[in-house]
Structure 1
Amino acid sequence: MMPELIAWVLVLAVAAYACAGGTDYGAGFWDLLAGGADRGERPRRLIDHAMGPVWEANNVWLIFVLVIMWTGFPTTFQAVFAAMWLPLALAAVGLVLRGAGFALRKPARRLTQRRFYGAVFASSSLVTPFFLGAVLGGIASGRVAVGTTASADAWANPTSVIAGLLAVAAAAFLGAVFLCSDARRFGAEDLVGYFRRRALTALGAIVVLALIGLPVTHSDARHVWEGLTRGLGLLLVLLAAVCGLGTAVLLARRSYRWCRYTSVASVALTVFAWGFAQRPYLLPTSLTAADAAGAPQTLRWLVIVTVVAIVLIGPALVLLYWMDTHGELDSLTDADTQAGRAPGDTL
């Protein structure tokens, strides 16, 4: 039971990163589509203000995923990184450039500098979730096994492409929903409707991609398809659809208090549905959680460390998110970063 328990902790960490990190990627996606310097100034200012206090903390979940993989399931870690090193490297580069672009854009003094750093931040917010989704799609389709060599087919296949696009659409959906609430919290009433329309558009894109993905997974990822269309997998998919529909209703009724929770629930339930669909395999249909698990003593210590981490870090993250969503935190201003206008600057 120990390997299966740790496998579910891994799925939980993936779900947490998909929701927390996905919201940040979604904000970057809308930053990319905000328009030129004049038209996109207010949406981008809101995105900077909303993301500032928490964007670094959300990457804790990605680190948690990696630690669990290489400690609890070293065989899986080796197989995935050997077969998928290129998309994972591109995702990592995007992750680094995204953080650098976001951090450097605000203190930049000249318009050209802000445009450059903003383009790096926004484009990386599209690249990283796509390649992470493509990796999950390649795993779900059964193209990764122990000893699989790196090839384009492992991640550039129909299931991977659909999974990558779904990851981008889900991030855009979460980002727009949260920015609706942030716009109201910061008193930018005109941007509430702006992001509400984009949230509904992103949800529509998810529905279209999901419908396209049905025949694709049926033929290209049969084990996962069967898991998603029966039992607990199907139940979780239906619950995710209900939460997505509930989010759409709340957005249409301009009730923004609860739509954040329903949107997060829809994405998290989808990730758990994928976890149920793959079981008992970590790499369908070649490697189970029991076969991939590390030494029993290592697993016991991993469980202990995980419990300690949850006790120590969990409350701190909950407090951070609560303070952020209740307006108790503010991002740095130009005065704080000493990035005030200098003679000759164009802002």
Structure 2
Amino acid sequence: MAYVPVVFILAGMAAYTVLAGADFGAGLWTLLAPGPRGEPIRDEARHAMGPVWEANHVWLIFVLVVCWTAYPVAFGSIASTLSAPLLIAAIGIIFRGAAYALRGQGASRAAEYLFAISSVLTPFALGTAVGAIATGRVPVGNAAGNLVTSWLNPASVLTGVLAVVFCGYLAAVYLAADSIRFSERALATAFRRRALAAGLVSGALALAGLFVMRDSGLDLTHGTALVMVCVSAVAGLATLVLCWRWRFGLARLTAALAVAAVVAGWAAAQAPRFLPGLTVTQAAAGRSTLIALIIGVACGSVVLIPSLALLFTLFLRGRLDTPESHDPVHPEPAPAEAAASSPGTPPSQAGTAAPAAPPARLWGAAAAVGLVAGTGLLVFLDPAWAHALGVACLVLCAVAVFRLASSPPAP
């Protein structure tokens, strides 16, 4: 049971790297696209991040909460010894969010530079913290490690640089796919070049990192860690081939797999050590705390995962595009237009609308009834059957709200 929260932490780190990392990478490409000629690249990066840039930080919060709940001694040691890079990352996230909001209001070029620099500084600081943990530079105890050299050393700095390059690599692949969706071939070409270049740089740095990490105490060249390294290498090569052939939809998946495999390889190489002299089992909290944590994560996942899945589905389908966004590549014609354009359709039927979907007001009523009934049953009644029925009503409310959010707007 002591290892179950580790699985949660690794899953959260992989999700944060794959999703939020792409957002940080978008900021990197805005920094590397100055001047009027880079305006389309900056606009595309801003558009692609718009609906999801705040939601992705849920995974960072998830990792922190699980770590300090399940492994309090290890978390205290990490947070105290690595207080500097963690503080830098936190400040970077705050400045980045503020600059992004200001940039959306037509702020000065200085806000754009603040956004871009924060997008580079944050993954670098987080990467150095991961490198310090991986190479055993965080001893057990309150600020027991060196506050400077624990994260400013060759292995940690290389990990930070690799994190920045990985972010740029993911962002370039995702943005190329997004540009294709909007029929912006020139932008897709620009991001395709960046994806190929970032992929090659990532591969070279990852290969160098194998030797640097081995000299620093983390051997990734045997066992399960080596398998994960090979998976990452194969997925990275597949991404390059897919990008070269303009298959960006599949390239998204292989790029994410390449980065997630690196996280899994690090965990496999470090197991069972959490910190020097402290194994995962020794660092774990009491059994009752772990059970409560596992139940809490399981219950929260029922709400969190469908919500994020809905958010990304709506975004990828263009439902969250703003009026000033590009038109989709293949916009679906309105029912009347489709009927009028279909060969052999009689004129009398050309303007006939398709059968209407169930009215949105029914879903709205179901959501309202579910919320009121579920709250009332849970708050004012004590029997177990009433609580079970109340939970069912709240689930009905959630389903109705999701259905309303995913419904196309009324004509």
Query: Normalising to structure 2: TM-score of the pair?
Result: 0.77
Amino acid at match of 2:126: L
1:170 aligned partner, one-letter code:
F
Correspondences of 1:33-182 after superposition (within 5 Å) = 33-36=32-35, 38-108=36-106, 113-147=107-141, 148-182=144-178
- State the one-letter code of the partner of 1:319: L
Pairwise CA distance, 1:151: 2.1
From 251, 254, 261, give the equivalent of 1:269: 261
State the secondary structure of the residue aligned to 2:2: helix
Q: Report the residue type matching 2:17 in the other structure.
A: A
Q: Distance in 2 between matches of 1:218 and 1:272?
A: 16
Question: Per-residue displacement from partner, 1:98-144 (whole Å, max 9, x unpaired)?
Answer: 11111110212xxxx33111111100000000010000001111110
User: In the alignment, which of 305, 314, 321 is matched to residue 314 of structure 1?
Assistant: 305
- Answering whether residue 225 of structure 2 is matched by residue 213 of structure 1, we say no
Whether 1:184 aligns to 2:184 is no
Deviation at 1:297, TM superposition (A): 0.9
Aligned length in residues: 323
Q: Report 1:10-21 matches (<5 A).
A: 10-21=9-20
Once the two structures are superposed, what CA deviation does each residue of 1:216-269 show, in whole Å capped at 9, x if it has no partner?
112112xx21xx211211111101111100000000111112110110011111
Q: 1:210 deviation in Å?
A: 1.7
Task: Report the Cα distance in structure 2 between the residues aligned to 1:243 and 1:213, rounded to whole angstroms.
Answer: 18
Structure 1 residues 193-204: aligned runs within 5 Å: 193-204=189-200
SS state of the match for residue 149, structure 2?
A: helix
- 2:145 and 2:258 map into 1 onto residues whose CA distance is 35
Equivalent-residue separation in structure 1 for 2:180 and 2:104 (angstroms): 22
Q: Secondary structure at the match of 2:162?
A: helix
**Structure with greater Cα Rg:** 2
Which residue type is aligned with residue 178 of structure 1? Y
Aligned residues of 2:5 and 2:67 also touching (Cα < 8 A): no
Shift of 1:326: 1.7
Indicate yes or no: 2:28 matched with 1:29: yes
Whichever residue aligns with residue 161 of structure 1, its letter is V
- Cα deviation, 1:284-304, whole Å, max 9, x if unaligned, reads x32111111112111110000
What's the CA shift string for 1:185-217, capped at 9, x where partnerless?
A: 122210001000001111111122123223211
Deviation for aligned residue 1:332: 7.7
Q: C-alpha root-mean-square deviation of aligned residues, in Å?
A: 1.3
What letter corresponds to residue 253 of structure 2 in structure 1? Y
Give the SS at the match of 1:39: helix
User: What's the secondary structure of 1:153's corresponding residue?
Assistant: coil
Quick one: percent identity of the two aligned structures?
A: 43
- The answer as to 2:285 corresponding to 1:294 is yes
Q: TM-score, normalized by length of structure 1?
A: 0.91
8 Å Cα contact 2:203/2:233 also seen in 1: no
Structure 1: state its 5+ residue gaps: 335-347
Q: Which residue number corresponds to residue 338 of structure 2?
A: none
What does residue 251 of structure 2 align with?
A: 259
CA shift at 1:273, angstroms? 0.9
- Give the equivalent residue in structure 2 for 1:341: none
Conservation of the 8 A alpha-carbon contact between 1:52 and 1:330: no
Where does residue 382 of structure 2 map in the other structure?
none
Q: Distance in 2 between matches of 1:62 and 1:297?
A: 24
**1:4 corresponds to which residue?**
3
Distance in structure 2 (CA, Å) of the matches to 1:43 and 1:188: 11
Higher relative contact order (CA 8 A, sep 6+): 1
DSSP-derived class of the 2:259 partner: helix
Helix, strand or coil at the partner of 2:42: helix
Distance 2:295 2:131 in 1: 31
Counterpart CA distance in 2 for 1:332 and 1:84 is 44
Equivalent in 329, 334, 344 of residue 320 of structure 2: 329
User: 1:66 Cα deviation (Å)?
Assistant: 0.6
For the 8 Å contact 2:45–2:175, the answer to whether it is kept is: yes
Looking at structure 1, the residues matched to 312 and 148 of structure 2 have their Cα atoms a distance apart, in angstroms, of: 39
**SS of the counterpart of 2:274?**
strand
**Shift of residue 333, structure 1, vs aligned partner:** 5.5
Question: Whole-Å Cα distance in 2 between the matches of residues 85 and 62 of structure 1?
Answer: 16
